[in-house]
Structures are given as structure tokens and as C-alpha cells.
Structure 1
Amino acid sequence: MLLAAVPSARGEPAAKSVYARDNLVAWCIVPFDAKNRTPGQRADMLKQLGFKRYAYDWRAQHLPTFEAEIGELKSRGIALQAVWFPTSLNADAKTILDILKRNDVKTELWITLADRLPASTDQLAKVTAAAEGVRPIALAAAAIGCKVGLYNHGGWGGEPENQLAVVQALKLPNVGIVYNLHHGHDHLDRLKDVLPKLKPHLLAINLNGMVAGGDKKGKKIVVLGQGDADLSILKLIADTGYTGPIGILGHTQDDAEQRLKDNLSGLDWLLPQLEGKPAGEKPVPVTK
């Protein structure tokens, strides 16, 4: 059931809702922003929207200002929840690790789980190869107090069962899973069975407005509250007992602030319905 921030029968505060504002993480708002904000402008925007957590995605042109981004976040009390990370310890990966170490930032490195044997049908071999590809990154992350999140991004490595198999093969305490609904359209029919299995390893769940088959209908990224499966998915997440971070998605070329506002408005419209209250007026998104 939804964990509500109300007093318990014993007069003690109940557990806070997993959808509480300070549990939300802004995600995909750096290269996905029509205004191309600077680190300081982005941090100001996040603070004004009430975000306490932020996951940093980037392109090559953004890495030179990553250290400045960390400083801007710290000065506004916003935690760097995660950093998008390469699938090998290449030059960009080493730059990120060095900056995190130098600034004593303990965070998560979100990486796409690669299929390193795409021509093979041997599942054990594929899992073993994928795990060994992740291991050096996980060890480098552990050395500076960071975690690694396997990020579903389509293909073999995007299947939750394969993510889980790799985590179990690695047996490393700092490796978990990041589940993205916008890359999970093919999982909708089995999500009620998948999420409880993933739950012990979940570092984050990133929300999206979900339409059945949306990725094949030009509706892969949809404003939260505008999808036909959104309410049932939010209920399912709460019912699993998951209490970790919840991602709020940008991921369009709109003004990132407007996109985040649209998703927050959609979440605010859905939450009362989880408690059985009537739906209010459905918000009309500014972004599409």
C-alpha cells in the first residue's frame, strides 16, 4: 500500500511516501534542455522546483563543467544522486572518477548493461561476459565509495531478468539496478512479477507516462499522468514496499523546467487517486 506521512495508531509518524518531494530525482535534463542551462542556472532551477536530488547526464561538451556543477549543487543543498557513466574505463570515465574523488562525492554511476556476446545464444556465457565487463567499473567505484547501477536501455542488457542475473553473478555489494519505465514498454505485462524480484537490488525507479506499446507508436516519452497505465504502475511500485529514489524525467528538447513541472503536476494529480480520492481536474501539459 502507499506509505503515507500520517501518524500511526501508536502516535508515531508513519513512513513517508515513496513519492515525497524530497525523494524525487531530476533526470535527463542536461543535454535534454532547450535552454541549454549552465550548471548554476540548472541548480537554481532545481532548487526552485523543490528537488533535493539530481542525476547528471551529459555529452562531451558538458564534462569540462562537471566539477563546477558539483559545486553549484552543493551550495544549494542538492545531492548528486547519480552520474551517467561509460561502459568501460575510458578517458571520460577516468575524468568522472577523478572529479568525484577530488570532491569527495559518494554517488551512483548509472551504466548501460552491454551485451558483450551479441552473436551468442548461450545465456550463461552472455551473463558471465556482461558481469566481467562491469566488474572493473564496480571496483573502481567502490574504491571511492560509489555504487554502480545497471541501467535498462533496451536490447539484451535492458531485460530486467538479465540485469538481475548479472548482479547475482557479480556478487558485489555496490552493484544494483536502475529501472527505467521509458525503456520498459515491453515489460508492462509482467511488471507485477518483475518489480518484486528487482526490489532488493533497486537503486532507483525512473517514472514516465506509460502507454501500452508506446515506444512503437511515437509515445516512448510521455508526460506523467497522461499515460493509460500510470496510476496502476504507481500503485504497483508503492505496493512492493520499495522506498528508494524515484526519478522524474526530462528527456525531451523542451525547456527542462517546463518538462519537469509537467511531470510533477501529473504526479500531484495521480497521488490522491492512489488513496482512493476522486481525481481532480486533469492537468494539461505545457510540453508535448
Structure 2
Amino acid sequence: MYNACKVKQTQATKHENFYAFRKSNLIPWSIVGFDVKERTPQQRIDMLKRLGLKRYAYGNRPKHVPTMGLEWQLAKDNDIKIDAVWLFVNLRRDRPQALKPESEAVFKNLKAVGLHTQIWVGFEPTYFEDLSEAESLKQSVEMVSFLSKRAQALGCKIALYNHGGWFGKPENLFKIVKALPNENIGVVFNFHHAHDDLQNYSENIKMLLPYLWCVNLNGMKKEGPKIITIGQGNLEKDMIQQLLDLKYTGPFGILGHVKGGDPEVILPENLQGLQHLFPLNN
């Protein structure tokens, strides 16, 4: 029997997939700090243009701080959107009102370039190992509140990044956001940092959904390895489909990150893997 409702639902799902997974809605990530070719800022912008990509998130390492502002300005001059910049916090070296030089450089360059974007904040996982739950929450909230106010003054926003450890647990990200109701704070959920809690994935994304600003995709197998090409795992299709079923339409991040790899090779492989899992034109 012809089922018109089912056909309409399938067509709607394909339309949503087209929007969510079209190249313009995908954010290349981990293409700065993990690049075997050690591209210069201009070479990175040229690479993105060759790949037909008009946006990315800037995830640097300390060695990139001297060229940070130059790269952001080059991106602006070439009409390439920087969706986010990376800030990695170590509470032994970063304190409210006293950030380490590498952290302070992020805010200094945001102001100098006039870049209004998200700041993806990760915390050093080992810091929390000797802290109680109450101490971990208190210190995280204090730092995130401080960073959020600094960001707002520059026309930017803070997003919490699940980078392992206490801070990276979805329930703790949720607690931090809820503890700061007057701040505009989001969450970036990374598949490649979610292996240790896959059994609770469905519950976690439902909990975080109102605050999800980006989901960074990856091929997923329970047993690992941590990072594999999209389409080569056995879990990522269902994990992505659950997000679509919850009406999450992106943006999605796409990794250019394999240790010792070339983002110009890895990004197309992930794009092709995503296209294979969720065809846009069928």
C-alpha cells in the first residue's frame, strides 16, 4: 500500500540531511595543530579554498600564537569564516584575572582583528583528579564566568568543549551551563572524546541538545581507535541519526585530524564518508 505519510517523512529527512551535511554547513576542525605539512597561515587559507571550504575553527598550539592574528586577518580578507577559536585552560596556570600568556593572546588577538566568534574552551583533564566534585564545579564555574564576561566584551561567546576528564563529562558540562543562567554559554560535543561514555550517548545528547552549538563528527567504534574516518566505524551513523531525529540541524564539525596526517587528504576522506552514510542527492 502507498504510504504518503512515510514518503513525506523520508523526503523531509533527506531535506534536513541536505542542509545539515552540505559543505557550507560543515566546520573543518583540528587543521592547525595537527598538520604534518606545518602550513603557514596563507598556505592553510589556500588549502581551504582549494577544497571549496569557506569556514573553519581555529585550533592552535602554543607555537602558533605568534601567527594567530595574522591568520585570522587573512581569513577575513579571503571571506573565510572563523567559527571558533580554541582556548585550553590549565587552572594551575590560568586563574580569573591572571591568564597565562598563551591564553591572554587569544583575547588580545580577537580584539586586534575585530573577530566576533565562539571561543571553544577545554580544560586540562588531569587538574581535576585531586579535586572533589564541589571543588571542581566551583572552580570551573568561576573560570567560565570570567571567560564569558571577557568574551562578551569583545562580541564573542564561550562554548564548553568535552576534552576528557571531569570537565569533559556531559553531566558536568550541563551543570556548569545551568550554574550560569545569565551567561550565553553553549556546548561543543566531540564524538572522538566520547568513547568512555557511549552507553549513555542517547541520554547525554538529549540533555545537552538545548545548548549544542556544534557537534564534531568522527568514525566511531566502541573499542577504538579514537580517531578514524567517518564511515569506517560501526556506530557513527546511528549516533548522527539520533541527532537528526532530535531535530539538530548543525552545524557539524568535520575533523582534519589524524596524528601525522595531512588535513588536505583527511578532510575530503571524511566528507566522502559522510556522503556515503547520508547521501544528499538520492
TM-score by length of 1: 0.84
**Other structure's SS at 2:20 match:** coil
1:176 — aligned with what? 186
Whether 1:233 and 2:243 are equivalent positions in the alignment is no
**Per-residue Cα deviation, 1:41-64 (whole angstroms, up to 9, x for no partner):** 111111222222211111222111
Judge conservation of contact 2:69–2:112 (CA < 8 Å) in 1. no
Equivalent of 1:256 in 252, 260, 263: 263
Contact kept? 2:158, 2:185, Cα under 8 Å: yes
1:16 CA displacement: 5.7
TM alignment of 1:8-23, pairs within 5 A: 17-23=19-25
Distance 2:22 2:214 in 1: 14
Q: Percent identity?
A: 39
Give the aligned length.
263
Q: Give the Å deviation of 1:15.
A: 9.2
SS at match of 2:114: coil
Q: Distance in 2 between matches of 1:4 and 1:53?
A: 25
Residue in 1 that maps onto 2:38? 36
| Structure 1 segment 12-91 matched on structure 2, within 5 A | 17-87=19-89, 88=94, 89-91=99-101
- Aligned pair 1:265/2:269, yes or no? no
Distance in 2 (alpha carbons) for counterparts of 1:108 and 1:224: 25
Cα 1:172–1:46 change in 2 (3 A) is farther
Relative contact order, higher structure (CA 8 A, sep 6+): 2
Structure 1 40/220 Cα, relative in aligned 2: closer, same or farther at 3 Å?
A: same
- For 2:146, the equivalent position in structure 1 comes to 136
Instruction: Give the alignment's Cα RMSD to 1 decimal.
Output: 2.2
Does the CA-based 8 Å contact 2:88-2:123 persist in structure 1?
A: no
Matched residue of 1:36: which SS?
Answer: coil
Residues 66-107 of structure 1: per-residue CA shift (max 9 Å, x gap): 122112212222111111113232212222212111221111
Deviation at 1:167, TM superposition (A): 0.8
Q: Is the 8 A contact 1:128 1:169 kept in 2?
A: no
Q: Structure 2: which 5+ residue stretches go unaligned? A: 1-8
Write the letter of the residue equivalent to 2:247. G
**SS in structure 2 at match of 1:112:** strand
TM-score when normalising by structure 2: 0.86
Partner amino acid for 1:195?
I
Aligned to 2:118: 108
The match for 2:165 is 155
1:127 aligns with 2:137: yes
In 2, are the aligned partners of 1:85 and 1:111 still within 8 Å (CA)? yes
Q: 3-state SS of the aligned residue for 2:247? A: coil
Instruction: Provide the rounded CA distance (Å) in 2 between the counterparts of 1:117 and 1:255.
Output: 33
Distance 1:203 1:179 in 2: 8
* 2:108 aligned partner: 98
Q: 2:250 aligns with which of 240, 244, 248?
A: 244
Letter in 2 for 1:266: G
The 3 A distance-change label for structure 1 pair 81 and 266 is same
CA spacing shift, 1:114–1:34, aligned 2, 3 Å: closer
Q: Secondary structure at the match of 1:164?
A: helix
Aligned partners of 2:128 and 2:72: how far apart in 1? 36
Q: Distance in 2 between matches of 1:117 and 1:194?
A: 21
8 Å Cα contact 1:110-1:151 kept in structure 2: yes
The C-alpha deviation readout for 1:187-207, integer Å capped at 9, x for no partner, is 222211111210111121100
What is the rounded CA distance, in whole Å, between the counterparts of 1:164 and 1:42 in structure 2? 34
Query: Given the superposition, is the C-alpha separation of residues 241 and 113 from structure 1 closer, same or farther in structure 2, using an over 3 Å criterion?
Result: farther
Unpaired runs of 5+ in structure 1?
Answer: 7-13, 278-288
Query: Which whole-Å CA distance do the structure 2 matches of 1:149 and 1:172 have between them?
Result: 14
- Cα distance in 2, alignment partners of residues 20 and 46 from structure 1: 15
Query: Is the counterpart of residue 118 in structure 1 residue 125 in structure 2?
Result: no
Rate the CA distance shift 1:69–1:230 in 2: closer, same or farther, 3 A.
same
Task: Out of 66-75 and 197-206, give the one that drifted further.
Answer: 66-75
Structure 1 residues 205 and 127 mapped into 2: Cα distance closer, same or farther (>3 Å)?
Answer: same
